[in-house]
Amino acid sequence: MRAIAVYEAKNRFAEMIAAVEQGEVITITRHGAPVARLVAIGVAAGTGPEQRQRVLDSMADLRRLGSDIEMACSLSDAIHNGRD
Protein backbone atom coordinates (compact mmCIF):
# COMPACT_ATOMS: atom_id res chain seq x y z
CA MET A 1 0.00 0.00 0.00
CA ARG A 2 1.32 3.40 -0.86
CA ALA A 3 0.37 6.84 0.37
CA ILE A 4 -0.12 9.89 -1.81
CA ALA A 5 -0.97 13.49 -0.90
CA VAL A 6 -4.32 14.98 -1.94
CA TYR A 7 -2.75 17.58 -4.24
CA GLU A 8 -0.74 14.87 -6.01
CA ALA A 9 -3.72 12.49 -6.16
CA LYS A 10 -5.84 14.91 -8.16
CA ASN A 11 -3.04 15.28 -10.72
CA ARG A 12 -2.43 11.51 -10.99
CA PHE A 13 -5.98 10.21 -10.68
CA ALA A 14 -5.99 8.12 -13.88
CA GLU A 15 -2.69 6.51 -12.87
CA MET A 16 -4.07 5.74 -9.42
CA ILE A 17 -7.19 4.11 -10.87
CA ALA A 18 -5.02 1.90 -13.08
CA ALA A 19 -2.95 0.85 -10.05
CA VAL A 20 -6.07 0.05 -8.02
CA GLU A 21 -7.43 -2.04 -10.89
CA GLN A 22 -4.23 -4.09 -10.62
CA GLY A 23 -4.90 -4.74 -6.91
CA GLU A 24 -2.98 -1.92 -5.25
CA VAL A 25 -4.47 -0.04 -2.29
CA ILE A 26 -3.68 3.68 -2.12
CA THR A 27 -4.01 5.84 0.98
CA ILE A 28 -4.66 9.53 0.32
CA THR A 29 -3.18 11.89 2.90
CA ARG A 30 -3.61 15.55 3.85
CA HIS A 31 -0.68 17.12 5.69
CA GLY A 32 0.69 13.61 6.26
CA ALA A 33 -2.46 12.25 7.92
CA PRO A 34 -4.51 9.57 6.13
CA VAL A 35 -7.96 10.81 5.05
CA ALA A 36 -9.12 8.27 2.46
CA ARG A 37 -8.31 4.91 0.96
CA LEU A 38 -8.72 4.01 -2.70
CA VAL A 39 -9.39 0.30 -3.28
CA ALA A 40 -10.99 -1.83 -5.96
CA ILE A 41 -14.73 -2.41 -5.51
CA GLY A 42 -14.35 -6.16 -4.90
CA VAL A 43 -11.86 -5.48 -2.12
CA ALA A 44 -13.91 -2.71 -0.53
CA ALA A 45 -17.14 -4.66 -0.52
CA GLY A 46 -15.59 -7.73 1.06
CA THR A 47 -18.00 -9.90 -0.90
CA GLY A 48 -15.99 -13.10 -0.74
CA PRO A 49 -17.44 -16.28 0.77
CA GLU A 50 -15.11 -15.98 3.77
CA GLN A 51 -16.50 -12.53 4.61
CA ARG A 52 -20.07 -13.79 4.28
CA GLN A 53 -19.36 -16.68 6.64
CA ARG A 54 -17.73 -14.38 9.20
CA VAL A 55 -20.81 -12.16 9.18
CA LEU A 56 -23.16 -15.12 9.56
CA ASP A 57 -21.07 -16.52 12.42
CA SER A 58 -21.05 -13.14 14.17
CA MET A 59 -24.82 -12.83 13.84
CA ALA A 60 -25.29 -16.30 15.32
CA ASP A 61 -22.99 -15.38 18.23
CA LEU A 62 -25.05 -12.25 18.92
CA ARG A 63 -28.29 -14.25 18.88
CA ARG A 64 -26.82 -16.75 21.38
CA LEU A 65 -25.69 -13.92 23.66
CA GLY A 66 -29.17 -12.41 23.76
CA SER A 67 -31.04 -15.69 24.23
CA ASP A 68 -30.00 -16.07 27.90
CA ILE A 69 -31.08 -12.60 28.98
CA GLU A 70 -34.28 -12.12 30.95
CA MET A 71 -35.70 -8.67 31.53
CA ALA A 72 -37.47 -7.69 34.76
CA CYS A 73 -40.10 -5.82 32.74
CA SER A 74 -41.64 -5.86 29.28
CA LEU A 75 -39.79 -4.36 26.34
CA SER A 76 -42.36 -1.57 26.01
CA ASP A 77 -41.94 -0.72 29.71
CA ALA A 78 -38.15 -0.66 29.30
CA ILE A 79 -38.45 1.67 26.33
CA HIS A 80 -40.88 3.94 28.17
CA ASN A 81 -38.68 4.04 31.29
CA GLY A 82 -35.61 4.78 29.17
CA ARG A 83 -37.25 7.89 27.76
CA ASP A 84 -37.68 9.49 31.17
> pLDDT tens for residues 23-48?
899 999 999 999 999 988 876 555 66
CA distance 1 to 6: 16
Residue 76 maps to a domain: no
pLDDT at residue 75 greater than cutoff 70: yes
Q: How many domains does the chain have?
A: 1
> Cα–Cα distance between 51 and 45 in angstroms, integer?
9
Its pTM surpasses 0.85: no
Residue 81 inside a domain? The answer is no
In a domain, 43, yes or no: yes
Instruction: Classify residue 52: in a domain, yes or no.
Output: yes
- Phi, psi (rounded to 5 degrees) for 39: -135, 160
Residue 73 lies in a domain: no
In a domain, 16, yes or no: yes
Q: What is the CATH number of the domain that holds 17?
A: 3.40.1620.10
The Cβ of residue 16 has, within 10 Å, a number of other Cβ atoms equal to 19
Look at residue 23 and tell me if it is in a domain.
Answer: yes
Backbone phi and psi for residue 68, each to the nearest 5 degrees, phi listed first? -90, 0
Per the structure, the complete domain to which residue 51 belongs is given by 1-68
